[in-house]
Structure formats: structure tokens, C-alpha cells
Chain A
Amino acid sequence: MIKPLRIEETEDTPKVLLDQENGTFEITGRSFPEDASKFYFSVLSWVEEYAQEPSKETNFYFYLDYFNSTSMKQFIELLIRLERISETGKKVKIIWTHSKNDELMAFKGKEIENMINLPFEFKIIE
């Protein structure tokens, strides 16, 4: 099993927790780093390695408060990798959470859902 990846939250980057053993896959907080491809490099590498021997079920949680357009591009990269896992017959689901009044994050989630071939579940956090 692949070693977990933990990245602590900063003012402009999210908390990332990817732990196959505990079945935890989540990105939390705000994401607007200066260089999003640099920040997400380790995340994408982890997912690529995970894709070699993925769990039967992957529930990937996005708890985002805010992100910029270059982070969006990295999420697409991440989701394309998860799509590939689901194509091998494993279950992959995206759980997109946003606060009740947050139209922008809800809209962004729907937008991504329409571009990616994976089941999305939308959850509202009070």
C-alpha cells in the first residue's frame, strides 16, 4: 500500500490528505498558489502511484472554500487520473461539498461534473 500524503494548509494552499489505508482522500480549504502545477505535482504523482494498485472504492472529497483558475486546471488533471482508475472497473466517486449560500463553489462543482466522466455527489455543509 502506498504511503499517505499529508500537506498542511497555508494562507493560499489547501490541506491535502491522501491515505489509502484509511480510505481518506480529501482536499480542504483555499487554493490559489502562485504556481499551482508546482503545488499539485506531489498530489498528482501520489494519485498516479495509487492508480497502480487502487482500492476497490475511492471516495474523493473536495471541501473547498475557494480556488483560482490554475488550481482548477490541476483538479482537472487529478480527475482525469481518477477517471482512468474507474475505467479499470474500480468504483470512484467525487463528493463535492460547499456551504449553503456558496453559489460560486456550487457552480464550479457542476462545471467540473459536466467535463468529467465520474459520478459526483453534491453535499451542502451548514
Chain B
Amino acid sequence: MDISIPYYFFRLFEKDTTSFIYQGTFSDDLTDKTIRLGEHSIRNITEFNRIRKRVSFLIAECLQNVIRYEEKPKVLHQTNNRPGTFMVRNINHAYYIISSNLIKNEKVGELKIKLKKINDLDKEELKKMQQKVLSDPVFSEKGGAGLGMIEMTRKSGHKLEYDFEFVNSYLSSFYLQVKLTANEETDATRSLLLNNAKDIYHEILDKKITILYKGDFSQQSMLPVLGMIESNLKKNTEQYNSRKKVFYLLVELLQNMSKHALEQNGLRQGILVICNKNQKHYIYCGNFIDIPKEEKLNIYLEKISNLDKEQLATLYKEHLFDGRIRPKGGAGLGLIDMMRYSEDKPVFNFHPYNATSSFFSLGFSI
């Protein structure tokens, strides 16, 4: 297990109000869940209320592009094992929706021409082109991907950003970034570069991360995240029981964070990262805590992480029958239970952050 993961990625996405990354198999079910997550992240931000529908539309369109056009090599090896990736990031006044998928090299030229053509058009011309594609079935058949891209450009109000990366003699990675701002005219925010997304893609791939969520960890924010993870687990884990245990551990972990993470400006900021290596799930989380609480938590975790399964079961039972009601609802019980289900010994650390808070990271495996 690599306990440096939560803090490293938290710092990487520090300026993001919300970031969500998914790498793996894509399906329509995932689209619904991602839209819910996107909509939820907007709910509390007044300036984005106006564009909520557009964010949903762009998430759906981007994901469907990956589902429809992703090239899936039949035999996976080192040079082509590049699962599709999808990212939604909210930074300052902008939303970025980024996708990456494999395409055949022979299709790169044609797609480049289409994208360049779309980006060269102004608003009026885009509208006309869309009408033409819609009214002419022959044209739209040829246009294929065109219609979705035109619609995305129109809804985004910004140029599409894209790039192709050579993978091998047969395949390339296609990156697409769509930007959406609450107020197009006054947007002076420096744009996130597509190169940044490409770097992140490679880090995610390298660390075998399947899901990363950075943002608010209240119960209400958690439900769409859990829904998405559950639908991903259904697809990717053949073993029903390990899937159930992962979900069980996640709920405990997320609820622990929603109760105990330090609240700053009304939000409980934190990060959740799930990696999948050799048929095993590695679940990491990280959040801020008050420095005075660090020592007590450290001692407690040291103690329980060194207990064997039998000792943990006894402690769990003691906690269950412990009549004292804790102000935050049974702290300890969840942690003990998580330890019981972790396959490897759980890992944790504390990273000094500022004068008053530390960053607390915790990791389990199933």
C-alpha cells in the first residue's frame, strides 16, 4: 500500500472545489450517476445554478462519445492497455470536462479535420452547421461524431481543446477538454491547460487509480459518489462478496470522514482514491484534522491496527454494547469494523499542513 497517495493527489487538486476522475469501463449507467454527481456539486454554488443543465449535458455527451467511439483492443498488453478516462473538475469559475480514449490511428486525420472545422466557426456559423447536419440525413450519417461535437461546442461557449498521443503503430489516445464558465464575458480565469490533464492521465494510469474524488464529504455529497462506485464495482468485480466488502468499507470510511473531517468554510474537504491492482482494491482517504486531535487519534490507530482479527472482533463487540452515546455517533465502531475487513494491515499517517491543522491519510485493502 502507498500511503503517500491521498496527500499527493490532494495537493495536486488543491485548487479544485470538486474533482472527479474515473478510469475504466464505460457504460450508460455510469453516465446517469456522473450527471447526478455533477449536479450535486453545483447545487450549493449559486453562480453555477444557471448552467447546471449545461454541465449535465456536457457530462453526458462527453461520456457517450467515449462509450460510442472508444477502441477496445481485444488483447491487452503493455503498449495498448490504456483504459478510457473521464474527469470533471470545478476550479474557480469554471467547469472542465475531460475525456480520454483510444482511437485507431487511421481515424485520427479525419477527426482532426472535423474538430478544426468546428473550432474555426463562430457562434452563428455553428448554429447553421448544426441545422444543416440535423436536416440532412445523408450529411449527418457522414458527419457522425460531428453533431455531438458541434452541440458540445455550442453549449460550452468555448473552443474545444483536443490532442492526440501516439500509443503504437495501430492506436492513439484522443484527449478532449470542454470548458464551461458561469459567465462567459467576464471570465478572466486562466485556463487549465490540456497538458495538465494529460499529465494527470498518466499518473492515474501509473498508480492504477480507478476512482478519485476530491471535494466535500457530507452525507449528501456522498450518496452520488457511492452510487457511482457501486455501479462501477458491479461491472468490474466478478466476485460478489469482495464487491460487497468494498462497498461496506467505503460507507464506513466516507461516513467517518463526513463526521470527523475538519470543517472549513462550511465544507468538509477531503479525498477518496480507489486503486485496483492484481484483483485487489486499495482504498485510501484523506482529510484535515485539528492538530490537538492528532496525537489521540494516532495512539488509537496504532493500538487497533496492531490487533489481530480475533482481538478486533472482541473490541467490536465491546463497542457495540457500550451504552455511552458519543456526540458524533459511535466513533470508533466504524474504524474497528474497517480494520476487521482490511486484507492487509491498514496504513495511516499525518502530514503537517498549517499552524492549526494536519492532513490525515488512511488506507485499506480488500
Contact = CB atoms under 8 A, between A and B. Distances in A.
B258 A68 contact: no
A37 B329 CA distance: 8
A122 B337 CA distance: 23
A36 B240 contact: no
A103 interface: yes
Contacts of B337: 69
Q: Give the size range of B's interface with the partner.
A: 20 to 34
Interface in B270-324: 317, 320-321
B329 A11 contact: no
A34 interface: yes
B247 A66 contact: yes
Nearest to A70: B330
B220 to A, nearest CB: 8
Given A69-B333, A69-B334, A101 B251 contact: no
Interface in A54-90: 66, 68-70, 72-73, 76
Interface in A23-62: 32-37
Interface in A88-126: 101-105, 115
Q: Is the interface of B mostly helix, strand, loop or mixed?
A: helix
Contacts of B329: 35-37, 70
Contacts of B333: 69-70, 72-73
A68 B255 contact: yes
B116 to A, nearest CB: 45
Nearest to A106: B241
Given A68-B252, A103-B241, 20 more contacts: A12-B223, A32-B251, A34-B219, A34-B258, A36-B329, A36-B330, A37-B329, A66-B247, A68-B334, A69-B334, A70-B334, A72-B320, A73-B320, A73-B330, A101-B240, A101-B241, A102-B241, A102-B244, A104-B244, A104-B248
Interface of B: 219, 223, 227, 240-241, 244-245, 247-248, 251-252, 255, 258, 317, 320-321, 325, 329-330, 333-334, 337
